[in-house]
Structure 1
Amino acid sequence: MSIRNLDKLFKPASVALIGATARERKLGAIALYNLLGGGYQGEIWPVNPKYDELMGLKCYRKLAHLPKAPDLAIICTPPATITALIRELGALGTRAAIVMTSGLDPVREQSLRLAMLKAAKPHLLRILGPNSMGLLVPKLGLNASFAHVGATSGKIAFVSQSGALVSGVLDWANAHGVGFSKFISLGASYDIDFGDLLDYLAGDIDTAAILLYMEDIQAARKFMSAARAAARSKPVIVLKAGREAEGAAMAAWHTGALAGSDAVYDAAIRRAGMLRVYSAEELFDAVETLTHIRSQRGERLAILCNGGGLGVMATDALVSSGGKLAELSPDTVIALEKALPRGWSHDNPVGLPGDAAVQRYADAIKPLLDEPQADALLLLHAPTAMVSSIDIAEAVTPLIKATSRTVLSCLLGGTTVAPARQVFNRAGIPTYDTPEKAVHGFMQIVQYRRNQETLMQVPAQLPMSATPRRARVREIVAAALAAGQTVLGECRSKEILAAYGIPVATTRMAADVEEALAVAADIGYPVALKIHSPDIAHKSDVGGVALDLDTPDILRTAAAAMLKRVRRMRPDALIDGFTVQQMARRPQSHELIVGVTTDAAFGPVILVGQGGIAVEVTADHAIGLPPLNMVLARDMLARTRVSKLLAGYRNQPPADIDAICYTLIQVAELVADIGELAELDINPLVADADGVIALDARIRLQPGQQRDRLAIRPYPQELEEQVTWMDQPILLRPIRPEDAPQHMDLFHALDPDDVRLRFFTSMRELPVSQLARLTQIDYDRAMAFIATHTGPDGKPETLGVVRAVADPDNIHADFAIAVRSALKGKGLGHILFEKLVDYFRSRGTEALVGEAMARNKGMQRLVKSFGGDVTPSEEPGVVNLHIGLRAP
């Protein structure tokens, strides 16, 4: 991930257009026309050996003839010329280029990509495209695109993989008065991709929200890291194309990359804290909402309408979307009594009579704007002959502008309400065509907040603790691969699950009927008998499962019949014998499936849902990206229909949800530990009030897989280190989300002055949201090491923490440290800091940087002990800290 030199792309002082031309409707002519027509104040230098002048500008025959190196170059020349131009531009000192050239030969595309990147790399020149429509920065008047229209300035950034959608969105935005901070066509993303742009836009003060049109992702981990960081600071809304198989095939053809499973994209978008929309119409609604809506703290909606039907339509849309109607407080009802005629609903939605005068609108809206139990207000209006819509808009607009409450409007109709809509648009009040669209716009923000709140929850401690027997699992995997075996049977698969603390039914192999009888006698009747074959994935489909066999004679008969059936239905299958399993009698249990599959874009993903032999028919499942914690596992389970059954009903007791979630977490840990694990089926996983047990399991291995295939970097266990401090053993390790309770204890163990020195302010309590941010980190760009030991009460205790967050270019990492006040001056801070320095030096970071209060002499001594520098800051009472990590 890198934002290096992207400022030259978005804030160029000079632009060279290579391939500029006077030929109408040609790429070079349209691009030059747009550059001149946008109001850009920088230098514009057309380059083409055929011209001396173009559109009133001097035209240069060669790049070498330019007055100086342009900050940004736009390339509109044939594919064969691009690599040489990139090389020449880089040597001149240009650091950003937009390649608009399209029509690349699919056969030679990969070689061209590698050649372009090789030419750009020595000069750190960034490339947008090829096949990019360009970009617009309306605030600067920069229209470096061949779009058919320009854009007005606003606070939303739009990034698209589709040039056609760029044109459509621009048309719509201009018609609705919506502006943009940045408007970017990615093209083929040879260099600059979604991850780079998300990192840049997250820190862009001109951008309040980010919209993405996405067809595929090629660098999943980079994308997820950038998306998680961006979505924590501002709303990120995604329109993902290729939802159906046919659409996905078209997306792959269009972008030159395979589209991943739509359900996996959905899970990735949710996990990053972004919001997904499913159509261009929803995307436009999102633009309208994000352009105008104010800061929203909750999700309770009050509705004011001039017709009962409008209120019913809005309420239906709200409830079906999972929204909440606000309950009116007694004070609000009393205030509305004075404003409304007798017979009004005394409830939400608040209905006005069809002939309501302008003043009645104003009198009714005032108490609703002050309603403490409402977080937003929706004003619905259908035009009537008795009152002017524009008069209503002009009367309520000052009242709305005077409040901090979120207000949305819906004016039904066309030309008669257009002037009223313009009044609302000028005032920054979002307005929609229908009640359903207005509610959907509101719910987009609600869903975004819900996604963020889920990710910011502090996860509970694991309900049980088991140290995985990783060495044994690696032995099993290595032996199987050495023997050329990629599919593990039930017994070996269950042994692996058991090694990770997942309960499994006792199961043993039997080569023939006689051995099956001996196993059954040993483990005890009744038993389940299953065919054992590497070629049969679904044993029930071929009659390869027999249950409740409670005598030797019944077992013998069942085995003979099973062999006969299987050989008839699958004569090609290699049969290794049987598995004999202790019969699990759980009469009030539910059958679940827990599985792993490897997605083409995002790598391994976890699945949970309703299991059993009809699993494909019920199609009830949820997908999540590893690693998981209790919050994420519960969220996954809650997205299945079977979760309602698991909660209990009538005389059916609730299942042990913690045990199910723990299984998901352990499966995710197994996937993170064993890079060769490509697929896993636990079906069924039986769940009831007493816990869970895996009755059947199957694992597929894929040689050569790596641990970094996960889209989110898992807990780096390899960084754990036992050290001795003050003659006692302590563990230095990366922080985990489950460390939140101990981290709060650490905060409480800081005296007030140490809190001020660490946080630059006084704090009595650490907000839960901040606690989550401190303990739920992205190991790809941040690291926090804690020193921990077992406290006097036998529970883990955090003694101190050191952390740093690297910038996207891995140049600097901002650090901070805190040690229990009672332990200061005993060398613990030095031990922690040494661990941090070693880690960031190993990842190639150039320097650790930070700030400290000038009176924090202990911090300054610590920095100097590592060869660092302490210099005055521009801020009074603060010093800058710098520790170089590169070898001199």
Structure 2
Amino acid sequence: MRLSDVDQLFTPSAVAVFGASDRPGSVGGIVYRNVLSSGFKGPCYAINPKYETVADRPCYKNLAELDKNFELALIATPAETVAGIIDQCGGYGVKAAVVHSAGFAEHGERGAVLQERVVEAARRNRIRLLGPNTLGVMRPIHGLNATFGNEQARRGNVALISQSGAVCAAMLDWSGPREVGFSAVVSLGAAADIDFGDVLDYLALDSHTHCILMYVEGVRNARRFVSGLRAAARIKPVIVVKAGRYPAGSRAAKSHTGAWVGTVDVFRAVMERAGVVQVEELDQLFAAAQVFGAGRRLGGERIAIVTNGGGPGVLAADRAVEQGLMLAQFADETRARLEAALPEYWSHDNPVDVIGDAPPERYRHAVEACVADPNVDGVLAILAPLAEADPSAVAKEVIVAAKTSQKPVLASWMGARRVAEAKLLFAQGRIPHFASPEVAIDALAFLATHHRNQKLLMQSPGPIAHEESPDVEGARLIIEGVMAEGRKTLGIIEAKAILSAFKIPTTQAVLARTPNEALIAAEVLGFPVVMKINSPDLAHKSDVDGVRLNIADAQTVRRAFSEIVERAKRLRPEVRIEGVTVEHMVSTRAARELMIGVLRDSIFGPIITFGAGGTEVEVLQDRALGLPPLNAFIIQTMIRHTRVDRLMGEFQHMPSMNREALARILQRVSEMVCELPEIIEMEINPLIGNDREVTAVDARIRVNYRPPQQTTYGHMAIHPYPIHLIEQVQLPDGTDLTIRPIRPEDAQLEQDFVRGLSEQTKYFRFMQALKELTPEMLVRFTQIDYDREMALIGVVEQEGVEQEGVEVVEVEVGVARYMSRPGEDSCEFAIVVGDEWRARGIGARLMRSLMENARQRGLRVMEGEVLTANTRMLALMKSLGFRVERDKLDPGIKIVSKVL
């Protein structure tokens, strides 16, 4: 089972260029010459009926004349010819194609039709397609430059994925003098087939890639995008710059890529949850390329600054505070080392001012002392080219000092002419260097952000366990009833019923249509009460002064009813008024007004917001965003990101608020938006909290029908753990077996399982010699996107030994998984059962569960590859009704398939 089906885009053994030409400036000619001059070891064929030779090499009129197999097709022909070429390639072993040609969707309706034909041809022939309208792809380690650009990337460990060919060109031009090398460069173009998710899947497991840079304009498939980001970011740093953050830029991005663009806050929240570092400008992307490409990570937020000038040190310190970094407090031993190495009149603090006349050795001693300090996570060395300074000599000493620790050491040699040689030395020594202290601090902040966001990335919310399970079906029936009446906005009583179904504490509301009904409701609920206008057309009751608080007697109830209704009719005569709701008044003792909201982003689905509540919520703009599903860590992070967090503690004789109750409500809101895709907007405001309880006082919910083709949790960017797939079965020999989807925390379980397999079983499963799963493979196998793939493991409980006795532990005995093919209704599967657990029916049981899940996901065909020598597996496949055929290209492999 392949982990990626785009590998031939990066590692083809043979290439053909359609549209190769000797015409000056032609795209096909440039691509052909770039492949020839980049060091590609395999054959590169030119195909163009207009030429006998191109670049003094044979040129073939068509594939029939060439009559040779090749894996990668590079196409630079008119748009209307591309689909036909793709169809021809299907019979010559082509696995991937790069369509450089323009004239597709970016040129209107006719171009969009042509693009659809190309994609259909590619899927028909099982060819993955990059483009159209793409600069191309580079793989320096493979000697491949399949672009029509003028720059050749040097070898390195940084990968670049961009929706803009111009950004690729700029990055390559920038990287030269800084000696930043690339493992891969991919221009997605229109991304009609291969998109971010596909390339991220490949680069996540690519041993040559240590860091991934991305230029994003828009996102089409949020689930693929986010799951690809999360999988890659678990293994290596991913840095993103987002274009189109504001309306004007968004319009430009749509016209350029045809993709929709999310809002600024939502995109930032998604990046944080994905463990990604988001930067704002291309210059910052360049800075990130340097600092992450150097391969060192920041273990915290405490930095030390070493400088030969007070001014640059202060600038760096100010910037550090702005970026949320902390100036480290030196340990006593560090202070002693600095006192011994520096003049008496050094700064005696952080920043460490080594004085303008500092010789190179003084710099080295200062940097070595700082990196050795356990209170320091990273160091910035700054040099102003004063008359006494020798920039190159100091640079050499800093490079030596940096090698004494794995902590990041950055340099800012200010100036130009006098520091040019020093900058070259830093580049050769793999020390990130920047023209100004502020940019250098920004780079350190990127490392700190990566460290923080990794904590969010590692949160994998499982099923939410309540003392009382929510009544999901009851809530759904209420929503269906509202929509059956032609309404999309729930009334206050209906909205509170939904909250109650999910065990969220609310105040009881009674609808009154007359003053007397209001009085009866007040007497039943007990004074004091709150009265609110009830109208499905009013987003905010305060717009018509439609709320009365602390009503304490009967006469006031009837008078308030008339005043509320009459004022609403006068101010908003067009709205429907159904009456007034009466609720018991929540105690305002030690109360804080909060708000929880849900919004539906057009790209990333439901987003949960939390912050200060009340009538000033739109003015205060105090909110934090979270991407569901949430867990306790994510919830606490959201709360800490708000200003209202400080008001929840004890102050002005008010006791601390009940944070646990608030966290429970946020958790339940998370489950609500997971289970009810019909909810497109919700606002609980105010949410009143005190030291004892947190209560939803008012709520507004908007709903809509979910698309009929939408799968379970298909409205979410992150698929929750599919608890409904857990099965408890008993094997024929009486062994109790649990079949469940794999979880991220099963990494050790999976590793132990693979280690325990015999050498033959490992070879049968992975079709290669393998001792154990690499860290990258382990992440890939356990951190899965349940929407596009599934891994079901079979586990049994056994007794394990611990220090104080015996404990029951889970042991994996088998695993079956499938991965769906992009744009198709088929999937590729793999299965393996532990050697000592064979012949107990585990393989058949896992496969039946896997097939049923694939069928429910709408997949029609399940296929796999089995080694001919693996007779046990072939027998299992036949017993399950799979068709077995010989692989036409490899007689040692059987292709097994089944229509589900």
- Give the TM interval when normalised to the shorter protein: 0.7 to 0.9
Match of 1:664 in 2: 666
Q: Is the contact between residue 674 and residue 716 of structure 2 (CA under 8 Å) also seen in structure 1?
A: yes
The match for 2:448 among 442, 446, 449 is: 446
Cα 1:788–1:571, aligned 2, differ >3 Å: closer, same or farther? farther
Match of 1:366 in 2: 368
The aligned runs of 1:402-441 (5 Å cut-off) are 402-441=404-443
SS at match of 1:233: coil
| CA displacement, residues 229-256 of structure 1 (integer Å, 9 cap, x when unaligned) | 1110111111111111221121112111
Match of 2:625 in 1: 623
Match of 1:876 in 2: none
Q: Report how far residue 377 of structure 1 moved.
A: 2.1
Cα 1:404–1:595, aligned 2, differ >3 Å: closer, same or farther? closer
Shifted more, 193-202 versus 330-339: the winner is: 330-339
Q: Is the contact between residue 739 and residue 792 of structure 2 (CA under 8 Å) also seen in structure 1?
A: no
Cα 1:35–1:369, aligned 2, differ >3 Å: closer, same or farther? same
Q: Is the contact between residue 367 and residue 398 of structure 2 (CA under 8 Å) also seen in structure 1?
A: yes
Cα 1:446–1:130, aligned 2, differ >3 Å: closer, same or farther? same
The aligned runs of 1:163-242 (5 Å cut-off) are 163-242=165-244
Cα 1:732–1:31, aligned 2, differ >3 Å: closer, same or farther? closer
The aligned runs of 1:554-569 (5 Å cut-off) are 554-569=556-571
Match of 2:14 in 1: 14
Letter in 2 for 1:83: A
Q: Is the contact between residue 654 and residue 689 of structure 1 (CA under 8 Å) also seen in structure 2?
A: yes
Identity of aligned residues (%): 37
The aligned runs of 1:320-335 (5 Å cut-off) are 320-335=322-337
Cα 1:815–1:623, aligned 2, differ >3 Å: closer, same or farther? farther
Q: Is the contact between residue 101 and residue 133 of structure 2 (CA under 8 Å) also seen in structure 1?
A: yes
Letter in 2 for 1:719: L
Letter in 2 for 1:119: A
Match of 2:382 in 1: 380
| CA displacement, residues 667-697 of structure 1 (integer Å, 9 cap, x when unaligned) | 1211221222222111111122222111111
Match of 2:265 in 1: 263
1:431, 1:771 → 2: CA distance? Answer: 35
Shifted more, 477-486 versus 552-561: the winner is: 477-486
1:130, 1:477 → 2: CA distance? Answer: 43
1:828, 1:56 → 2: CA distance? Answer: 63
SS at match of 1:187: coil
Match of 2:891 in 1: none
Letter in 2 for 1:232: R
Q: Report how far residue 225 of structure 1 moved.
A: 1.6
Q: Report how far residue 195 of structure 1 moved.
A: 0.4
The aligned runs of 1:695-734 (5 Å cut-off) are 695-705=697-707, 706=710, 707=712, 708-721=714-727, 734=741
Letter in 2 for 1:14: A
Q: Report how far residue 110 of structure 1 moved.
A: 3.7
The match for 2:692 among 681, 690, 693 is: 690
Q: Report how far residue 806 of structure 1 moved.
A: 5.2
The match for 2:786 among 771, 779, 791 is: 779
Q: Report how far residue 644 of structure 1 moved.
A: 2.2
How many residue pairs are counted as aligned between the two chains? 844
1:517 aligns with 2:524: no
1:773, 1:71 → 2: CA distance? Answer: 25
Match of 1:72 in 2: 72
In the alignment, structure 1 segments of 5+ residues that lack a partner are: 761-768, 851-859, 870-881
Q: Report how far residue 102 of structure 1 moved.
A: 1.5
Match of 1:496 in 2: 498
| CA displacement, residues 173-202 of structure 1 (integer Å, 9 cap, x when unaligned) | 123221111111100011000000000111
Normalized against structure 1, the TM-score is what?
0.86
The aligned runs of 1:93-132 (5 Å cut-off) are 93-104=93-104, 105-132=107-134
Q: Report how far residue 36 of structure 1 moved.
A: 3.0
Match of 1:87 in 2: 87
2:67, 2:191 → 1: CA distance? Answer: 30
Cα 1:597–1:407, aligned 2, differ >3 Å: closer, same or farther? same
Cα 1:828–1:608, aligned 2, differ >3 Å: closer, same or farther? farther
Q: Report how far residue 840 of structure 1 moved.
A: 6.5
1:150, 1:527 → 2: CA distance? Answer: 74
In the alignment, structure 2 segments of 5+ residues that lack a partner are: 760-775, 800-806, 822-826, 881-893
| CA displacement, residues 87-108 of structure 1 (integer Å, 9 cap, x when unaligned) | 1122333221111112333213
Q: Report how far residue 368 of structure 1 moved.
A: 2.8
Shifted more, 427-436 versus 398-407: the winner is: 398-407
Match of 1:24 in 2: 24
The aligned runs of 1:516-555 (5 Å cut-off) are 516-555=518-557
The aligned runs of 1:132-147 (5 Å cut-off) are 132-147=134-149
Q: Report how far residue 601 of structure 1 moved.
A: 0.8
Q: Report how far residue 362 of structure 1 moved.
A: 2.8
Shifted more, 227-236 versus 829-838: the winner is: 829-838
Q: Is the contact between residue 741 and residue 790 of structure 2 (CA under 8 Å) also seen in structure 1?
A: no
Q: Report how far residue 730 of structure 1 moved.
A: 9.8
Q: Report how far residue 733 of structure 1 moved.
A: 5.4
Q: Report how far residue 456 of structure 1 moved.
A: 2.7
Match of 1:766 in 2: none
| CA displacement, residues 814-839 of structure 1 (integer Å, 9 cap, x when unaligned) | 768899xxxx9999989996786566
Q: Is the contact between residue 461 and residue 629 of structure 2 (CA under 8 Å) also seen in structure 1?
A: no
Normalized against structure 2, the TM-score is what?
0.85
Q: Report how far residue 469 of structure 1 moved.
A: 0.9
Q: Report how far residue 358 of structure 1 moved.
A: 2.0
Cα 1:799–1:128, aligned 2, differ >3 Å: closer, same or farther? closer
SS at match of 1:488: coil
| CA displacement, residues 575-634 of structure 1 (integer Å, 9 cap, x when unaligned) | 111211111112322222212221111122212122222222111212222211111122
Letter in 1 for 2:187: S
1:732, 1:400 → 2: CA distance? Answer: 51
Letter in 1 for 2:481: A
1:797, 1:835 → 2: CA distance? Answer: 28
Match of 2:55 in 1: 55
Q: Is the contact between residue 800 and residue 828 of structure 1 (CA under 8 Å) also seen in structure 2?
A: no
Q: Report how far residue 660 of structure 1 moved.
A: 1.9
| CA displacement, residues 705-743 of structure 1 (integer Å, 9 cap, x when unaligned) | 443121111232432446679999998655778xx7xx9
Cα 1:827–1:519, aligned 2, differ >3 Å: closer, same or farther? farther
The aligned runs of 1:730-809 (5 Å cut-off) are 734=741, 757=756, 778-780=785-787, 781-783=789-791
Q: Report how far residue 160 of structure 1 moved.
A: 0.4
Q: Report how far residue 294 of structure 1 moved.
A: 2.3
Match of 2:828 in 1: 811
1:773, 1:103 → 2: CA distance? Answer: 37
Q: Report how far residue 351 of structure 1 moved.
A: 1.6
Cα 1:145–1:729, aligned 2, differ >3 Å: closer, same or farther? closer
Q: Report how far residue 402 of structure 1 moved.
A: 4.8
SS at match of 2:505: coil
SS at match of 1:318: helix
The match for 1:319 among 318, 321, 330 is: 321
Q: Is the contact between residue 687 and residue 696 of structure 2 (CA under 8 Å) also seen in structure 1?
A: yes
Q: Report how far residue 371 of structure 1 moved.
A: 2.4
SS at match of 1:631: helix
Q: Report how far residue 699 of structure 1 moved.
A: 1.5
2:493, 2:187 → 1: CA distance? Answer: 52
Cα 1:81–1:648, aligned 2, differ >3 Å: closer, same or farther? farther
Cα 1:76–1:827, aligned 2, differ >3 Å: closer, same or farther? closer
| CA displacement, residues 312-358 of structure 1 (integer Å, 9 cap, x when unaligned) | 22222222212233332222222222211113233322220111112
Shifted more, 11-20 versus 233-242: the winner is: 11-20
| CA displacement, residues 93-131 of structure 1 (integer Å, 9 cap, x when unaligned) | 322111111233321344323211221113211111011
Q: Report how far residue 652 of structure 1 moved.
A: 3.1
